[in-house]
């Protein structure tokens, strides 16, 4: 049996005053009971209900803007056991339940049976005649799913104990699932936009790229502005040591008991294998956002990626066979296939790095998707990689005077491995730069300003010295003085904030976090603001901005960074806290978009959008965006029903 629990929440898009009046009228309570009813304490409205009755009550109350929970929760319709939110690859397929942390489940379909009214209150505080129950003092119902012991690979369907890489196809399951989710979200969003354009103009847009985009990709330094850093990348300490050791390993051929040239051939193959394997490691680090040598040293190793050089060799062999077969049929067609394979080879390497799957590396559709995601800069990338691939041949004539004696072979190997490192670092950075367009997850995003002058930071040097000496309190005091003296310096504020966290001064960190968040939003540092917001919510779950005008800015940035549940939590209760604020309509519209595009809860989205159209009929956003979006959802629903 189930019971209906009300915690004072109101669904987005509904007028709080009207919802209060409706609920009080339904319960037959006087107005002076409203404060107790909406104080946030969970109260039982109805109990001893079957699942069907509980669902009808939930639907009935949700249509009136009243958010309630069902205890115990109704059984979810989805049977997916993968611990990552995976959206079906078919965007039109309905999903019956969104994550419960966002908004309670509702349905837009009319109830099969009328809900009896009025609803009798069982809560002792609201209705004196009812006995007090222990459930009223209990904490709110937990909506977290139980920890899953088994996962199913989203690529091959293999069921296995919880892990990161699939034991059957070696796919990085969380990254692959995230890529699938982003592709489904983008496909669904484009379909809604296309439908909206069709309803307004009488035809579908011939080119979806001509439509306005609601997402803004992170501002990352383009790879062509970092070319000098790519050439310096192999000369970093750890990389340079690796290259020198691998190059000197070529001398082992002189000591192997094998006939020439098999001794040199074996050693060279092993050197190339180790070099390419290490290059893939660096490429993966770059693609995840670990750009510096110190950051890459902290990145955990992945032993299941050691076979990537063999997979790359297999991809090249398979496509070489395909080119020869096609060439034997038609010379012209053979040259075309060869040209296609050559141009898309960087995309194949990037696909291998992201998926760790041999078959993904063979998939031309995935190559084309990567090329389309990168766009026109892919042509520049291909030109750079083509020039770098011939770098060894170009530099050896310059080194001819040195190519004498025993050190000739190590020099040749060093130059060859050097250019391999440069190429793989460049491809990894391209994945990182376009991770938003490609749906690739990254661990960190850097905001790098081109041409920014590096200034002396005497205060930072002093603080670093104090930390090295173990005097955290003195370092914190110095950072406190500096952050007061330089309130607009992001680096100073970030250093002070990290020291507060290091010293476990959580209360001070939260107080400073609110001011620091305002500064980040003012400086348009969206990625850093989202990271700070998430960090503060781990310390204080109720953490939110201080100023009302910052809610929408942070919600947009949180949505852009794909932190959808955090965005919903941020916007929840905004209208109740700031009634009459100018950002109410945009915040409700963003809530509806997330429910529709991410969680595919069109029923909730339609309720929010419909309420916006009724309450703000003359609002510019309602006329230009909300109403067309609502018509698009209705058209998609009618098309699916038909």
pLDDT digits (tens, 9 = 90+) for 57-106: 888 888 788 888 888 887 644 443 333 333 333 344 444 444 433 344 33
Residue 621 has pLDDT above 70, yes or no: yes
Give yes or no: residues 388 and 267 share one domain. Answer: yes
**Preceding peptide of 72 cis, ω within 30°:** yes
Give the C-alpha separation, 406 to 403, whole Å: 9
What is this structure's pTM?
0.41
Expressed in angstroms, the distance from the first to the final Cα of the chain is 36
Would you state the pLDDT for residue 193? Answer: 57
Q: Are residues 132 and 237 in the same domain?
A: no
Taking a C-beta distance cutoff of 8 angstroms, is the pair 284, 353 a contact? yes
Residues 241, 336, single domain; the answer is yes
Task: Give the confidence band of 213 by pLDDT, cuts at 50, 70, 90.
Answer: very low
Strands 150-152 and 159-161 turn out to be: antiparallel
Q: How many domains does the chain have?
A: 2
**Which single residue is written with the structure tokens 């397929």?**
93
What is the model's pLDDT at position 554?
A: 92
Q: Is residue 528 part of a domain?
A: no
Which tens digits make up the pLDDT trace of 516-526? 999 999 888 88
Look at residue 78 and tell me if it is in a domain: yes
Residues 253, 398, single domain; the answer is: yes
Residue 396 lies in a domain: yes
Domain boundary among 110, 136, 162: 136
The band of 209, judged by pLDDT with boundaries at 50, 70 and 90, is: very low
Check the CA dihedral 158-161-167-171 and report its sign: positive
Domain presence at residue 29? yes
Do 286 and 408 share a domain, yes or no? yes
Note whether residue 102 is domain-resident: yes
Does 259 share its domain with 379? yes
Instruction: Kindly compute the dihedral angle of the four CA atoms of residues 68, 70, 75, 79, in this order, to the nearest 10 degrees.
Output: 40
252: confidence class by pLDDT, cuts 50, 70, 90: confident
pLDDT grade for 134, boundaries at 50, 70 and 90: very low
Domain end position, chosen among 83, 118, 136: 136
Last-in-domain residue among 136, 158, 180 = 136
Q: Which residue, among 185, 88, 178, has the nearest Cα to 440 in the 3D structure?
A: 178
Residue 509 belongs to some domain of the structure: no
Residue 472 lies in a domain: no
| pLDDT (mean) for 499-509 | 87
Q: How far is CA 156 from CA 160, 167, 370, 614, in A?
A: 11, 10, 21, 47
Residues 129, 238 within the same domain: no
Q: Which residue has the tokens 């990161």?
A: 164
The range of the structural domain enclosing residue 94 comes to: 2-136
In a domain, 186, yes or no: no
Same domain, 104 and 9: yes
pLDDT score for 196:
52
**Quick check: helix, strand or coil at residue 165?**
strand
């Amino acid at each position: 049996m189930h019971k209906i629990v009300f915690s004072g929440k109101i669904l987005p898009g509904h007028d709080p005053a009207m919802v209060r009046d409706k609920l009080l009228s339904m319960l037959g309570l006087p107005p002076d009971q409203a404060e107790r009813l909406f104080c946030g304490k969970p109260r039982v409205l109805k109990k001893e209900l079957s699942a069907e009755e509980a669902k009808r009550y939930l639907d009935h109350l949700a249509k009136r803007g009243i958010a309630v929970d069902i205890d115990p929760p109704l059984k979810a319709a989805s049977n997916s056991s993968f611990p990552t939110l995976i959206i079906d690859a078919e965007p039109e397929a309905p999903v019956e339940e969104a994550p419960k942390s966002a908004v309670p489940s509702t349905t837009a379909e009319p109830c099969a049976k009328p809900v009896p009214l009025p609803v009798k209150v069982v809560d002792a505080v609201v209705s004196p005649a009812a006995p007090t129950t222990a459930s009223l003092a209990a904490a709110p119902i937990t909506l977290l799913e139980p920890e899953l012991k088994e996962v199913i690979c989203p690529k091959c369907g293999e069921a296995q104990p919880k892990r990161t890489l699939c034991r059957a196809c070696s796919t990085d399951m969380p990254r692959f699932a995230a890529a699938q989710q982003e592709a489904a979200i983008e496909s669904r969003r484009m379909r809604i936009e296309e439908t909206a354009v069709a309803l307004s103009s009488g035809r579908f847009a011939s080119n979806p790229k001509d439509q306005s985009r609601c997402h803004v990709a992170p501002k990352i330094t383009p790879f062509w502005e970092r070319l000098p850093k790519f050439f310096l990348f192999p000369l970093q300490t750890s990389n340079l040591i690796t290259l020198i050791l691998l190059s000197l390993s070529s001398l082992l051929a002189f000591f192997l008991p094998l006939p020439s040239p098999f001794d040199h051939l074996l050693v060279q193959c092993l050197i190339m294998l180790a070099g390419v394997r290490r290059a893939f490691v660096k490429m993966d680090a770059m693609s995840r956002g670990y750009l510096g040598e110190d950051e890459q040293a902290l990145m955990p190793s992945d032993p299941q990626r050691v076979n990537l050089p063999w997979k790359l060799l297999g991809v090249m062999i398979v496509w070489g066979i395909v080119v020869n077969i096609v060439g034997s049929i038609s010379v012209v067609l053979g040259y075309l296939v060869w040209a296609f394979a050559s141009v898309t080879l960087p995309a194949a390497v990037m696909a291998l790095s992201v998926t760790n799957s041999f078959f993904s590396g063979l998939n031309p559709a995935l190559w084309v998707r990567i090329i389309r995601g990168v766009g026109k800069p892919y042509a520049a990338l291909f030109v750079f990689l083509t020039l770098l691939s011939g770098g060894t041949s170009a530099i050896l004539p310059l080194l001819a005077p040195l190519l004498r004696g025993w050190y000739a072979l190590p020099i040749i190997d060093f130059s060859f491995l050097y250019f391999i490192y440069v190429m793989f670092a460049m491809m990894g950075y391209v994945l990182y730069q376009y991770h938003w367009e490609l749906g690739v997850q990254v661990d960190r995003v850097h905001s790098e300003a081109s041409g920014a002058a590096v200034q002396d930071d005497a205060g930072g040097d002093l603080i670093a010295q104090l930390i090295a000496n173990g005097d955290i309190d003195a370092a914190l005091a110095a950072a406190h003085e500096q952050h007061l003296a330089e309130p607009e310096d992001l680096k100073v504020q970030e250093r002070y904030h990290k020291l507060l966290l290091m010293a476990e001064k959580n209360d001070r960190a939260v107080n400073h976090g609110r001011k620091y968040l305002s500064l980040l939003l003012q400086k348009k540092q969206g990625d850093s603001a989202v990271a700070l917001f998430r960090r503060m919510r781990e310390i204080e779950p109720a953490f939110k901005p201080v100023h009302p005008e910052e809610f929408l800015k942070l919600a947009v940035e949180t949505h852009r960074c794909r932190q959808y549940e955090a965005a919903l939590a941020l916007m929840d209760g905004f209208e109740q806290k700031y009634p009459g604020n100018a950002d109410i309509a945009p915040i409700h519209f963003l809530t509806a978009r997330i429910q529709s595009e991410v969680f595919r809860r069109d029923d909730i989205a339609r309720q929010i959008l419909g309420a916006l159209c009724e309450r703000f009929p003359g609002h510019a956003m309602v006329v230009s965006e909300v109403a067309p979006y609502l018509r698009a959802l209705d058209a998609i629903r009618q098309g699916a029903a038909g």
